[in-house]
Structure 1
Amino acid sequence: MKTRSVLAVVGVVALFGAGGWWLAQSEAPHKHQLEKRVNSEGKTYYTCSMHPQVRQDEPGSCPICGMKLTQRTEAPTGGMVTSGAEKKPLYWYDPMRPDQHFDKPGKSPFMDMELVPKYADESAGAASATVVEIDPRMAQNLGLRIAPAKTGTFWQRVDAVGSVALDERRIVTVESRAAGWIEKLDVRAEGDVVKQGQRLAALYSPELFAARQELKLAEASGDAALVKASQQRLRLLGGGAGASSQSGVFAPASGFVMELMAREGAQIAPGMPLMKLADLSQVWLLVEIPEVQAGWIKEGRSAEARLKSLPGKVFEGRVDYLYPQLDTMTRTLKARLVFDNAEGALRPGMFADVTLFGGAQRDVLLVPTEAVIRTGTRTVVMVAEGEGRYRPAHVEAGPERDGETVILSGLEAGQNVVVSGQFLIDSEASLLGAYQRMGAGSGMSEGMQSVEEMKDKPAMEGMSDMRQKSEMEPMSGTSMEKTP
């Protein structure tokens, strides 16, 4: 009986103690604490946009290209992920085709890889979205090099290949003014060189003999008017003084025989050409100037020519004429240059390396040509902002020569641009959507995609049919639809 009483007292005390503890807890402030929980099918990891096969549990740089790893969260196929810092994806995309957006996770219809989510905070802020970060040590390992944009003088010069041609203004035709026969031909073959005043042929002409006789009779008569008329007739026939029936044909200029159209003993008529002579003391060089550089060249500008057969020798000339019509097939403008050729080194038919000078553009902004990325839809350079930060800048490029390109707008003197390894940064900037924010078109990957679509159009059409079929008959798991 006594033992039962003790147990009852102990039970009452314990009951009151529990009640007091409960009251104390109910009066204390109530606190809620969120705990991030990720199930086995969905977890947070870090990956590279260029190399999605790289997956790490901690932030850092890609061991392949050195790009800063991006945080990603796998979407679980079942259950909910409870997290105080949970982010809602804007869309999913294929890293190899970032322009294609999907509203649900799953497999890429282009590549056998999982789609990657795109979060709102990854695209917040245009300035931060256009900057690509690379660890300086990794940049050094990748061989990234930079060079400053500088102000200087750009010499407008066109380098082309020209062909030596005859100066058509120095071609003469030798003819006979009187009818007759060629009694002696002093020049026997084409290509023979002649000097000015040299006799080329001796003609027998009865008409000349008669004209000389008339002059002799006129002089004997003492009639001044008749003498003058006889002299004029003899001069028109190309004859000289004397009573001989022969008359010589002489070279009007020095040169070589281009064509020989008569032979010894042949009968000739007035105005019949005997041969053609070409003077090589001055020659033409004909060159083709690209359309984009044609505006640099003006008539009277200086030019230089070099022959492979005479290394080290430079011939100086000038631009004589710019032809009015552009060649629509080659998009070039034909120019005619004039060169003195007293030594005869420039022979018709030769090829020469020609340089045409178009003047200088002073105080222009210059960058190394290798720093300029041209895709057909945009022209950009990668600006190095220091501390491993790189930003694409849309520029307007001008002419290029000797490894330097003129920048007309989009860059300032003193800014550093990447001249080696810039394509890695360009690809990363394209994946981050930097070019859409710059208003300069989509990125390099989109330009490459359009080329591939043109080249492999049947394959893409087949892939599109497969994708339509997958939308009509969804596979097991999640379905995918392209967002409008």
Structure 2
Amino acid sequence: MIHFPFRQSTKAFTLALLITSALMHDMRADREADLVILDTVSAGNLGIETEVVERRDFRETLFALGRIQAKPGGHAFVSSRVAGRLVDVPAHEGDFIKAGDPVAVVESRQPGNPPPRLTLHAPISGLVVRSLQHLGEPVVPEIPILEIVDLSEAYAVAKIPEDKVSWIKSNTPSDIKVAAYPDRIMKGTWERFGTMADVSNATLDAYFRIHDPGENIRPNMRTEFTLHINTKKDVMAVPKEALQGDSFQPFVFVKDFELPNAFLKAPVVTGTQNDSHVEILKGLFPGDEVVTRGAYPLAFAGNGGISLKEALDAAHGHEHNEDGSEMTVAQKATKASGTGKNLSGLGDGPLTWFLIVLCVIQWLLLALLAVKKKAVEE
């Protein structure tokens, strides 16, 4: 006689039901944690802006920092060939002068009544960056009077890591931005490398020739270099401001295609990046809308006071379950009667019933296996 293992099967069914309940709870918790739903006021306050993800040509770039430096031929001093006294200085620090302009008058120590005077002229055009002697001071040939720099054409000197030096070619496009003028981008032409590497930071100077007709730049101004190394075709990328998290767990917020003011936190795998975009290797699809402006505060916005159920109810015009699933007729009747849960206490969403059916099937399989085992033993 075959004895049906009712107690053992009932225990297995109960255990499976408990596991199902735990899994459902975790799935709902994960979904709610990853979905941020804002009300209209919160969305307006955050200034949310989005951009559609698409495949594009992606420029690989190298970023570097550096300084402005005068070219060797654009740097000069004014000095006197004879000793004397400075009796006139028509050019002063901060003045722009032309080559040949009189910039200083020196009264010689040679005898005479009056003593002979020597007028000094600017050897180059440019900016007087330093006045080293002042009116009435004694003048000697060893000490210059003025320092002049021509910055209409100068060098922007970048600190290139030694392992990236081979990336720089004569035709490497370069965008150079001076920190003092962040809205202006100058085009530079690579001319040469420095003669010695800097052992303190393992870099080599790269000299880029730039033109500044307005002569707004000054020596030693800090510069930022974006060097375009290579172009990759058909790359999916998002703006850098869309990427949140850290290098270990990066993510973006994707706009929900159906719910208004709802954004899903989507983990992504990133590749290379340039000055404006980050390559996305996994986690997004073309056509997704990612949050650009407002992405950072959105990570701290929580649910904005609106649940997933409330958002779906407002969007569709009828009631949903707490997990966002559609309510069945039986569920609506149960809710109308004053209870919102079935006998299992798990809720009545489609996912719930699907998992319960799986548990029943598992119970039946366990029972059949037990019956078969008993039959073999007899």
TM-score calculated relative to the size of structure 2: 0.47
Q: Which has the higher contact order (CA 8 A, sep 6+)?
A: 2
TM-score calculated relative to the size of structure 1: 0.39
